[in-house]
Structure 1
Amino acid sequence: MANEDQFKKVISHAKEYGYVFQSSEIYDGLSAVYDYAQNGAELKKNIRDYWWKAMVQMNENIVGIDSAIFMHPTIWKASGHVDAFNDPLIDNKDSKKRYRADVLIEDYCAKIEGKIDKEVAKAEKRFGEAFNKEEFVSTNPRVVGYQEKITEILARMGKSLEAEDLVDVKALIEELEIADPLTGSRNWTEVKQFNLMFGTKLGASAEHAMDLYLRPETAQGIFVNFLNVQKSGRMKIPFGIAQTGKAFRNEIVARQFIFRMREFEQMEMQFFIKPGTQKEWFEYWKETRMKWHLSLGMNADNYRFHDHDKLAHYADAATDIEFKFPFGFKELEGIHSRTDFDLKQHEEFSGKKLQYFDHEDNASYTPYVLETSIGLDRMFLAVFSNSLVEEELENNTTRTVLKLPAVLAPVKAAILPLVKKDGLPEIARQIFEDLKWDFNVDYDEKDAVGRRYRRQDANGTPFCITVDHDTLEDNTVTIRHRDTMEQKRVKIADLKDIIKAEVDVKHWLQKM
C-alpha cells in the first residue's frame, strides 16, 4: 500500500471509528483544528497516563504540576519567544500559497530518503535472508550518495538558519529546483521570519486590557515555578518537574492531519541538574526516553535519533526522536540540554533570585536544565497509524484491524452474547457490570457474532468475550484475542486476571 494511500486510510478510519473529527465540521471546519471523539479521547488519555506513570510515578525525584495557559507577558520576553520564536516563511507568487521554507527543504530530503528505501527494498528482495541492511546502506554507492546529499543539504540549511541568512535559504530552494507542491511553480518570494505566537487580551475594557499570549509551550510554566516547587517539595538536585497541557502556535502551514496543529498538547519534563553534568544527563534521558517508546512494541526500525544541525538559542545539545509516520520520518520527541538560560533570563526580567543552595558544596548556583518534550497529538498519530493494518486471511478475505498496544486501547474488552435470548444477554450484562470497575469495556449484541468481531478488531479492542449456551452449563465463555484471533474457553471468574495480564501498565513499563 502506498504511503499516501495508507495515510488517507488512517484519516478515514479515525473518523469512522470515533477517534478524531474535524472541529466545527457542520460549519465546514476550522483549518488544522481537530476534536478527539469518544474513542480518541480515551486513547489520548491512556497515552498521557502511560507517560505520566513512567515519568512521575516511577521516579522519586520527579513531580508534576499544572500551570496556567495565561501567563504574564514579560515571561515570553524573557524566554526569547517575543523576539526569536519565528519560522522562515516563503510565498509562491503564482499559487499565492504560503510555506515554511525549512519544511520545503526537509520534504525534498524526505523524497531522497524514499529513494533509499526503494533501493533497500529491491536489495532485500534480491538477497532474501542473506540480506544485511546495515552493510548495504553503508556500502552501496547509490545509497551512500543519497545519504551524503541529504547530509549536505540539511547542514547548509541549519547553518543558514542559525546565522539568519534567509537569502541563502532561498538560494538553496532555487538550486534544488524545489517547486510548489500544488502547482509546480518555482516563482518564490524572499524568505521572511514569521512569529508563531497567538496574541489575546486580558481585561474588562479594551482601553485597559493587558496584551497577553496563548502559551506556545508548557516549559515556561515550569521554570517560573521552579523555586516554589523546590522549596515546598524540599527537592534536592537533581530533580524534575513534569507537566502536560495545551499549547498554541500560529503555524504557517498546519498540515498532515493532527501532526501539525495550531492547538495541541505537550508532555514535557524539565530536569534540574548541577552545571557541568549536562552531558551525562543528556545521554541518560536519550536512552531512557527511547526505552519508553520501545516498551510499546511498535518496532525499533520505526524510530531513530536525529541530532540538530541548528541549535535553539538556549541549547548546548539537542536531538530528536523521530518516528516513521506514513509521510516519512518526522520529529516525535525532543531532548534538549537548555543550560541555565531560562532561569537566568527569568531572574533578570523578574528581579527575583532563582538559585539553588547546594548543602553538599555549601554554595548557590543556577541549575542547568535537561528537557524532554513530546507532542501528545503526534504520539497519538504515531500509535494510531502504526497500528492500522489490513490482513489477508486464510479464507482469501481481508480484515482491517487496529493493533493498538493493549495498554493504550480505549476499550479493553467487548462482551458479546451469542444471541439475544435464552438468558445469554443477562449473563453478558452481569459480566459487563463486574468488569467495568477495573476496565473500560463495551457491550455489543447487534449483528452476527462474526461481524461484531470484525467491528471490534477495527476499533482496536484487544479482547472479545462471547457468552453462549455452554455458559449456562459450566460458567465458561470464549475469549478471543484481537491480534491472533485465537479463541480459548475460560472460566468467567478468571476473566479479570486474564485481561489485566495483557493491559496492566506494570506489565508494559517493566519492559523499560
Structure 2
Amino acid sequence: MVAETKPVSNADTIEKLVSLCKQRGFVYPSSEIYGGLNAVYDFGPLGVRMRRNIRERWWRHMVDLRDDVEGIETAILMNPQVWEASGHVQGFTDPLVDCTGTCRKRWREDHLAAEREARGKPADAVGCPECGGPLTAARQFNLMFKTFVGPVEDAAALVWLRPETAQGMFVNFPNVVNSTRRRLPFGIAQYGKGFRNEISPGNFIFRLREFELMEMEFFCKPGTDLEWHEYWCNERLNWHIDVMGVRHANLRLRAHEKTELSHYSTATSDIEYRFPFGWGELEGCADRTDYDLKTHMEHSGRDLTFFDTESNERYIPYVIEPAVGLERIFITLLCDSYEEEEVRGERRVVLRLHADVAPVQVAVLPLSKKAELTEQARRIEHHLRGLFSTEYDETQSIGRRYRRQ
C-alpha cells in the first residue's frame, strides 16, 4: 500500500506539533503537574537528543571547521556595569499596553496588528485583540530579569540574568586576542542560556522567556564590515539549507529598513522562515559597527582597540554578529519536516528530519523475540552506539515499530 502525503493546514500545524512533541517526548510543558508556567518548556528524551545535534552541527560549522573563529563560554551573571554600559538597563525595552476590558491581558504595542490578524480580526481594528476592550497608553517595559548576589537584596547586590551572550564576548575581546595571538578578521563564538521577560511570548517554543542562544561576534577592520556582513548572511542562509536540510522555498533573507535598525547597527538582515503563523525571524545577522567595544572602552576605562601590524595602525574593530536561538531552529525543523500520510483512510504523522539532526539515527528492530535473534540484535545496537544515536525496540509488530521511528 503506497502512502499518500496529505497537506496540513497552517491553522492546525502548531497545535498538532504541540501534541506530537508531548506524546513522543520532544517537548513538555514545564512543571506541568502544578499547572505549568507560561512560555517555559522542558525538553524530553527525543528533544534533548535533537537539541544536542543542532548545537553540535552549529559548533562544528562555526568553530571546528573554520580557522578564523575561537570558542568561549562566559558566565550568565556578570558585573551589572556591563549592562549599564551596553545600554540594556536603560534601553532593552518593549512597548507595553494593558487591556482594561474583560480579559485584562497585556500586549506588546508593536505586535497588536499581528495578534488581531491571528484572531481573524482586521489588523487596524481598535482595542484589545482578545476581547476588544480599551487599551492603556504604551509604556516601556524592561525585558531583563533581575536577581541579587548574596544574602542582602539591595541595590549593591543587584545583578541581571543575561538577555544575550554577546556582551560576554565583547568584554573578553582583549583576553582572547592576547591568549590566542589572533589577527583580524576573526570571530568569537559561544552558546548558552539567555533570559527575557517577554510581554507576549507564544507560538509554542518560538518566543520563550528562557532559551538557548548561539552567537558569534566577528571582528573586522572598519571599512570591510559591509562585505563581511554580506558574506555571513549568505553563509548562514546556506547552512540552514545545506546542513540542516530546511527547504529553500520556506526561507528568505530580508534586509531591515532604516526605521527598523537598532541604534548600534548600520545593516541588519534576518533569515526568515515561513512558519504556520506567518514569516518569522529564524536568525539575525547584524553589522554592530564599533558600538559595543567603544562603549565598553568609555565606561570601563580599558583599552579595547586592536593594533594592526600589517597597516601599522590602531583602531576599534567593527563587529558582524550572526545570532540564532536554538529553539528557533528546533521549531523550524519540526515545521519543515512535518507531514501527514494517509494509509487505508488513516492519517499518520511523519517527521522527515535530516539524518544529522534526527534524535534517532539508527533503529535496531529484531523480527521476533527469539533469544538468538534478540541477543544478536542487541550486540549490533551496542556496537552502533559509538557511531550513531540508536534505539532498540522489540515490542509490538515490526510495522508498528517501524512507524514509531
TM-score (norm 1): 0.74
Secondary structure of 2:288 counterpart = strand
* Distance across 2 between alignment mates of 1:81 and 1:206: 21
In structure 1, give the amino acid aligned to 2:225. Answer: Q
Instruction: Show CA shifts across 1:407-436 (max 9, x none).
Output: 101111111111111511111111111111
1:436 to 381, 385, 402: 385
Instruction: Show CA shifts across 1:37-67 (max 9, x none).
Output: 1110010110011111111011101011000
Residue in 2 that maps onto 1:98: 106
Instruction: Show CA shifts across 1:224-252 (max 9, x none).
Output: 00010011011110000001000101101
Q: CA RMSD in A?
A: 1.9
Instruction: Show CA shifts across 1:455-493 (max 9, x none).
Output: 11xxxxxxxxxxxxxxxxxxxxxxxxxxxxxxxxxxxxx
Residue in 2 that maps onto 1:21: 28
* Distance across 2 between alignment mates of 1:434 and 1:242: 34
Secondary structure of 1:267 counterpart = strand
Residue in 2 that maps onto 1:391: 341
In structure 2, give the amino acid aligned to 1:325. Answer: F
Quick check: 288-297 or 235-244, which moved more?
288-297
* Distance across 1 between alignment mates of 2:247 and 2:345: 27
Residue in 2 that maps onto 1:408: 357
2:124 to 167, 176, 179: 176
In structure 2, give the amino acid aligned to 1:284. Answer: Y
In structure 1, give the amino acid aligned to 2:179. Answer: S
Residue in 2 that maps onto 1:338: 288
In structure 1, give the amino acid aligned to 2:112. Answer: L
Is the Cα contact below 8 Å between 1:47 and 1:376 reproduced in 2? yes
Residue in 2 that maps onto 1:31: 38
* Distance across 2 between alignment mates of 1:110 and 1:443: 42
* Distance across 1 between alignment mates of 2:215 and 2:371: 53
Question: What are the residue-to-residue correspondences of 1:35-434 with 2, within 5 Å?
Answer: 35-94=42-101, 95-107=103-115, 176-183=124-131, 185-206=132-153, 210-295=157-242, 296-309=244-257, 310-393=260-343, 395-421=344-370, 423-434=372-383
Q: CA deviation at 1:178?
A: 4.7
Instruction: Determine what percentage of the aligned residue pairs are the same residue.
Output: 49
Q: CA deviation at 1:105?
A: 2.8
Is the Cα contact below 8 Å between 2:339 and 2:352 reproduced in 1? yes
In structure 1, give the amino acid aligned to 2:262. Answer: A
Secondary structure of 1:320 counterpart = strand
Deviation >6 Å, runs of 4+: 109-112
Is the Cα contact below 8 Å between 2:116 and 2:122 reproduced in 1? no
* Distance across 2 between alignment mates of 1:422 and 1:206: 63
How many residues are aligned here?
394
In structure 2, give the amino acid aligned to 1:453. Answer: Y
Instruction: Show CA shifts across 1:434-459 (max 9, x none).
Output: 11111111110000111111111xxx
Residue in 1 that maps onto 2:4: none
Is the Cα contact below 8 Å between 1:177 and 1:186 reproduced in 2? no
Per residue, is there more helix in 1 or in 2?
A: 1
Is the Cα contact below 8 Å between 2:96 and 2:140 reproduced in 1? yes
Q: CA deviation at 1:313?
A: 1.1
In structure 2, give the amino acid aligned to 1:303. Answer: L
Secondary structure of 1:344 counterpart = helix
Higher Cα Rg, which structure: 1
User: Comparing both chains, which one has the higher relative contact order based on Cα–Cα distances under 8 Å and sequence gaps of 6 or more?
Assistant: 2
Quick check: 321-330 or 366-375, which moved more?
321-330
Residue in 1 that maps onto 2:5: none
1:315/1:208 Cα in 2 relative to 1: closer, same or farther (>3 Å)? closer
Is the Cα contact below 8 Å between 2:217 and 2:319 reproduced in 1? yes
* Distance across 2 between alignment mates of 1:186 and 1:27: 31
